Amino acid sequence: MRIGLDLGVHGPKELGGIWQLLKGVIEELCTTYDNHSYVLFCSPSHQSLVDSLPSIAKVIKLPQDQFLTSVDQLAREERIDVLFRRYPVEDDLVFPLAKQVVLIPDIQHEAFPEFFASEDLRSRRVAFTRVLSNAGAIGTISAFSKARLVARPETRCTDVFLMGPALAKEHAQHTRDDFTPEELALIPKNKYFIYPANLWPHKNHNRILQAFDLCRNSTDQQMEFVLTGNEEGWPMLREAFPALPVRHLGYVRPQLLRLLMERATALVFFSLYEGFGIPLLEAFNVGTPVLCSNTTSLPEIGGDAVLSCDPKNIEAMSLLMRNVVEDSALRGKLAPKGKARLSLFSWEASTANLIAACERVAAKPFVLSYDAVLGATQNLGRQLRASEADRAARLEVIQRLDAEVTQHRSKLAELQVGLAASEAERARQLNIIQGQAKILDRRIVKLLLKWIRFGRG
């Protein structure tokens, strides 16, 4: 079986947890299932994954502005049997959707549509509806997400399977002597909470920092708060809490994040919505207590190894923070429970589920459904309209150039007329000069004759 792997145009920083999932699964796929062949469609920003793959994978790097068009063409040229795609997007791919396995981590936009710009929301709904209706198979990352996808009214795909994340290799491996002095200086001297999350609305930063402020005022412990991830939006958040001992470190490499997590008093993860929650595994790995939401996928991932509450209840979050700071026995009980839960999540299991789904999709006879025919027809219609628009644009350019040529020809004719007139005038003046020269010559001859006669007389 020849499997295409479409990573899209976005890089690791933009993809967040999805990138960790893709990297872990694709590395396991290309290493363990070498009885299949793989073609990786990616962008230059995916180099860290490319470097880790065995030679069994053919890597094709594509420009961002031509990515989807190139994937569609190359999928046919490379004779791809099944195309795995990292996320639903609006596209005009001719490659059959029934032969695609698409990853849908969650449907947060349906739970919190207010967190999305109107155009982004429209685009997501169009893309998700198309995939849920017609994809060959759909992979997702938790039982919570699977239940939500299956319950959607537009879902007609009957093959929805789990391929959740596990602990990244970079977090499993750790040495004590590979940090620079600048990196070590980022670690607070006091006790601190850590929250590795981009400043997206569903990450709930504002309420979390309110809860931290309340916690500090209710205990005599000196505490700090550390944020990591994308810093976009940080100046505004910082302005809202000017006196709070909170620092944002931006993106840090996985090894440093592991050390920050290990030395933290607790991981705070009171997100409003999660399809999985990879930082819980990272905290479990180093024995750090976890405080998290009691909603969406987090109870499934955390089990009895976490302390949880409603992420909209500031007082409840503050109380959990204070309890974990002041109760060392509580912290000691949580650590082994977290370690035990790590065994529930593995790259081997997720990759086995993905390859099985690809085999099922490849084995299915491809029958053109009404939706597929309609989609192809609509795609041809879009291409025809685009072609007509391009034809009109080209015709306009030709007409403009023709008008310019006509104008230039007119100017050239004027110049030629002017030149002809100039030549006629030149000839007339030359005739005058020549006539005057002849008259002058006759006068000179007459004068010479007179001189000769005068000389004789």
Q: Are residues 189 and 306 in the same domain?
A: yes
- For residue 426, being part of any structural domain is answered with no
Over residues 129-143, the pLDDT tens digits come to 999 999 999 999 999
For residues 401 and 258, state if they share a domain.
Answer: no
302 and 221 housed in the same domain: yes
Its domain, for residue 382, covers 371-410
% residues pLDDT > 90 (the chain): 63
Residue 52: pLDDT band (50, 70, 90) is confident
Per-residue pLDDT tens over the stretch 73-115: 899 899 999 999 999 999 888 899 999 999 999 999 999 999 9
pLDDT digits (tens, 9 = 90+) for 350-378: 999 999 999 999 998 865 544 555 555 55
Answer yes or no: do 54 and 160 share one domain.
yes
Q: Are residues 90 and 219 in the same domain?
A: no
Residues 125 and 161 occupy one common structural domain = yes
State the pLDDT confidence band at 42, using cuts at 50, 70 and 90.
confident
Domain count, the chain: 3
Instruction: Please report whether residue 448 resides in a domain.
Output: no
Question: Is 146 part of any domain?
Answer: yes
Residues 183, 305 within the same domain: yes
Q: Same structural domain for residues 151 and 27? A: yes
pLDDT recorded at residue 370: 47
* Confidence class for position 427, pLDDT limits 50, 70, 90: confident
**232-283 per-position pLDDT tens digit:** 999 999 999 999 999 999 999 888 999 999 999 999 999 999 999 999 999 9
Pair 132, 190 in one domain? no
Dist CA 411 CA 418 (whole Å): 10
Residues 118 and 50 in one domain: yes
| CATH number, position 12 | 3.40.50.2000
- Indicate if 175 and 309 belong to the same structural domain: yes
User: Mean pLDDT over all residues of the chain?
Assistant: 87
Residue 455 lies in a domain: no
Same domain membership, residue 310 and residue 176? yes
